[in-house]
Amino acid sequence: MSGTEIDGGLARKAAARAAGAWLPPVSNWPRPLRLAVIGAFALVGFLARGGFADQPGAAMVHALFDPALLVAALLLEPQGVVAVFAFAVVVSCTPLFGPPPAPLSSMFDYVSLAVFALNSGILALVARALERLSRVRGELDALDRRNAEQLSHFIEQAPAAMAMFDRDMRYLAASARWRDDFHLTRDIVGKSHYEVFPEIGDAWKADHAAALAGETIRSDRDFFQRADGEKLWLRWEVRPWLRPGDGVGGVLIFCENISDRVAIRQALEDNERRLKAILDSAMEAIVTIDAEGKIISANPAACEMFGYAPPELMGRSVDGLMPGASHGEHRRYLSAYARNRETRVVGRRRVIEGRRKDGSVFPLELTVSEAKDNGGVIFVGFMRDLSPIEEEKRRVNALRDELVHVSRINDMGEVVASLAHEVGQPIAAILNFAAAHRRAGTGAAGEVDIVARIEAQARRAGEILKRLRGFIEKRPEMRETEDLSALILEALDLTPSRSRAQIVFVPQHGFEVVVDRIQIEQVMVNLLQNADEALRLAEAPEIRITLARPDPERVSVSVADNGPGVEPEAREKLFSAFYSTKRFGMGVGLSISKSIVEAHGGEIRFRDHAPHGAVFEFTLPTAGGPP
Ligand code: ADP
């Protein structure tokens, strides 16, 4: 049986207390009162002495002063007994108070006096013993009172909620904390626990009964709903306290209100659940690593992205997921963190390579943020698989190339019509030279010259066709350093003017650009054809091509015509696909030109040409400048 001994080593004193328990309440009387009572009895004896005048002295003393002696003894006054004895002797043996007493004459007198003296002695000893007993009892009571006070003070001051009960579950003491926690007043001492807490259920009552039977019972987390509706979470212990030699004196209940802790814990658990739900459903891969670069957590998206089962990733080095990071990427996070966030890594969005479990490498976008954890630091990496985006980019580029090519073929209709005329010239010349040769006959003078001319014309026709083929052929994009003037001259060759416009262009050297020649030619052909078209009905048609260098990084090409210009409402839509004012126009020329120029890092725009006409100008980065 486990219990709590409250009385400690007071067994001896308890026995003394038991012995003095019969002492009359007179022991509590004040001393003057006791002395007055003894004095009164002695005085009565003294005053009554006349009625005993014929008695021998000793018998008279017995009769008169025995009651006073007895009273003094009962009043626990040994000195009182002695004083009464002395007074009796003086009264009966000396002439001090009245006529001289009869002398002690007989043996009986002497014996009586001796008996009186003996009586007095015995009563004095009894009184003294009783007095001592009373004093010890008083001390014990005081000690008890002090102990009880100290105990209740101790319980009162205890920083925990605790209460002490007797065997009937009545309050002996309760700590201030107990009263505060349960909103109780001081007057609970003496009241029944079940009266104070009528809401206590049978289960707890059974626990109290078990504790009164000697058991100690505790609970780490127990719910308790007060009668007023207040809900509490408690950690409690109920144990018996023992009275030495007297068994279980009652129970002690220790109680801790852990409602706040339970609420915090619940909030934490809720947070954790919510966080897990967010991580589990996040589209982005989220991986947490410690300062050593070991993976602490990875959400399902991360496991799927890297092709691992969740347990396989735990504790693994993050370097294995990022081949580019095999040089200790996390250490860079750490040093970045140590540099007080003057970071090149933390918080920045970067594209790096990821490695799946099967070894395949893929592009991923990584953002790292850091968080404090138990005084240390952890890093959270947010990752996005860029392979679908890269794939999409490739597809869009392929489509754009396709479109560029289709639009080039579309342009060809007009180009071919114009070039047919150009190719016709050398062919007609060849025919003429061939006829002249036939007329002169083989071996005639000048034959070599005629054949050479035929060859030259055939080469010229071949050149024109080669340029045409080069222009329409489908080919991968190739960027090379090109001279812009040469490129413009080639484009001019491909777009003979139908409007018979005067072309003003002064080729200039030093305008070098890194471009796909065919694509930039395509832009030029587009602009030239549009200008030519706008000039069909013009009086003095002119197309002016100007090269300029707006700043050291860029060159610009402008194509100006003196046609009717662009209607105000059409300006917004000029570069939109499928916008055309022409009867058979597809409306893709300017939009393709815009996408080609922008893919080269340049810009294209339109402005009015004074007094009338349109200027289309595009820029390109100079060779060696930024792309
Ligand atoms: P398309 O030539 O097939 O119409 P474009 O995209 O090349 O397609 O041109 C779109 C429209 O822009 C043309 O239909 C025309 O209305 C207008 N435009 C283009 N260049 C000029 C210009 N130099 N002068 C006037 N209008 C022009």
Q: What is the pLDDT of residues 573-591, one digit of tens each?
A: 999 888 888 887 778 889 8
Give the DSSP H or E segment for 605. strand 604-608
579 Cβ inside 6 Å of ligand 1: yes
Residue having the nearest C-alpha atom to atom 8 of ligand 1? 587
538 Cβ inside 6 Å of ligand 1: no
Residue whose entry in the numeric block shows the structure tokens 């993976």: 295
Confidence of residue 417 (pLDDT cuts 50, 70, 90): low
- What is the model's pLDDT at position 139? 84
Query: Residue 540: CB partners within 8 Å, gap ≥ 6?
Result: 502, 562
534 Cβ inside 6 Å of ligand 1: yes
Confidence check: pLDDT of 68 > 60:
yes
Q: Which atom of ligand 1 is nearest to the CA of 561?
A: 23
Residue whose entry in the numeric block shows the structure tokens 């996070």: 333
Q: What single letter denotes the amino acid at residue 183?
A: H
Asked if residues 62 and 112 have their Cβ atoms less than 8 Å apart, the reply is yes
Q: Rounded distance, CA 125 to CA 144, Å?
A: 28
Confidence check: pLDDT of 55 > 90:
no
Across 171-175, 210-214, 312-316, 439-443, least confident range: 439-443
Top pLDDT among 250 and 153 is at 250
590 Cβ inside 6 Å of ligand 1: yes
- What is the model's pLDDT at position 7? 43
- The b-or-e profile of 272-305 (16+ CB within 10 A means b, else e) is eeeeeeebeeeebbbbbbbbebebbbbbebbbeb
- What is the model's pLDDT at position 275? 87
Top pLDDT among 237 and 627 is at 237
State the average pLDDT for the chain. 83
Give the DSSP H or E segment for 171. strand 171-174
The single-letter DSSP state of residue 567 is: -
- The sign one gets for the Cα dihedral 477, 479, 485, 490 is negative
- What is the model's pLDDT at position 130? 84
Percent of the chain at pLDDT > 70 equals 86
Residue having the nearest C-alpha atom to atom 10 of ligand 1? 580
527 Cβ inside 6 Å of ligand 1: no
Q: Which atom of ligand 1 is nearest to the CA of 529?
A: 2
608 Cβ inside 6 Å of ligand 1: no
- What is the model's pLDDT at position 415? 65
- Segment 559-565 shows an average pLDDT of 96
614 Cβ inside 6 Å of ligand 1: yes
Confidence of residue 484 (pLDDT cuts 50, 70, 90): very high
Confidence check: pLDDT of 478 > 70:
yes
- What is the model's pLDDT at position 306? 93
Confidence check: pLDDT of 67 > 70:
yes
- Segment 465-482 shows an average pLDDT of 79
- Segment 435-456 shows an average pLDDT of 81
581 Cβ inside 6 Å of ligand 1: yes
Confidence of residue 626 (pLDDT cuts 50, 70, 90): very low
Confidence check: pLDDT of 327 > 90:
no
Instruction: Give whichever of 28-37, 48-57, 142-151, 507-516 has the largest mean pLDDT.
Output: 507-516
> Going by DSSP bridges, is the β-strand pair 614-621/217-225 parallel, antiparallel, or unpaired?
unpaired
Q: How far are the Cα atoms of 397, 409, 445 from residue 254, in angstroms, in the given order? A: 77, 94, 135
Confidence of residue 279 (pLDDT cuts 50, 70, 90): confident
Confidence of residue 4 (pLDDT cuts 50, 70, 90): very low
Q: Is the bond into 611 cis (omega within 30 degrees of 0)?
A: yes
* Alpha helix ranges (H) inside 441-584: 447-472, 484-494, 517-534
Q: Which atom of ligand 1 is nearest to the CA of 570?
A: 16
Angle formed at CA 319 by CA 316 and CA 324, multiple of 5 degrees:
160
Chain mean position to CA 619: 51
Confidence check: pLDDT of 326 > 70:
no
Q: Rounded distance, CA 70 to CA 82, Å?
A: 11
Confidence of residue 69 (pLDDT cuts 50, 70, 90): confident
Q: Determine the residue of 527, 529, 580 to mutate for testing ligand 1's pocket, defined as the one with the most ligand atoms within 8 A of the Cβ atom.
A: 580
Q: What single letter denotes the amino acid at residue 197?
A: F
Residue having the nearest C-alpha atom to atom 18 of ligand 1? 530
d(CA 544, ligand 1 centre) in Å:
17
Confidence check: pLDDT of 15 > 90:
no
Q: Determine the residue of 530, 583, 593 to mutate for testing ligand 1's pocket, defined as the one with the most ligand atoms within 8 A of the Cβ atom.
A: 530
Confidence check: pLDDT of 96 > 70:
no
Confidence check: pLDDT of 618 > 90:
yes
> Model pTM greater than 0.85?
no
Q: Determine the residue of 562, 572, 590, 618 to mutate for testing ligand 1's pocket, defined as the one with the most ligand atoms within 8 A of the Cβ atom.
A: 590
Confidence of residue 12 (pLDDT cuts 50, 70, 90): very low
Q: Is 588 exposed, middle or buried (0-12, 13-18, 19+ CB in 10 A)?
A: buried
d(CA 587, ligand 1 centre) in Å:
7
Residue having the nearest C-alpha atom to atom 23 of ligand 1? 531
Q: What is the pLDDT of residues 588-599, one digit of tens each?
A: 889 889 988 998
d(CA 565, ligand 1 centre) in Å:
10
Residue having the nearest C-alpha atom to atom 7 of ligand 1? 589
526 Cβ inside 6 Å of ligand 1: yes
- What is the model's pLDDT at position 10? 41
- Give the phi and the psi of residue 257 in degrees, each rounded to 5: -80, 105
561 Cβ inside 6 Å of ligand 1: yes
Per DSSP, the three-state class of 363 is strand
Confidence check: pLDDT of 202 > 80:
yes
582 Cβ inside 6 Å of ligand 1: yes
587 Cβ inside 6 Å of ligand 1: yes
Confidence of residue 352 (pLDDT cuts 50, 70, 90): confident
Instruction: Give whichever of 296-305, 333-342, 389-398, 613-622 has the largest mean pLDDT.
Output: 613-622
576 Cβ inside 6 Å of ligand 1: no
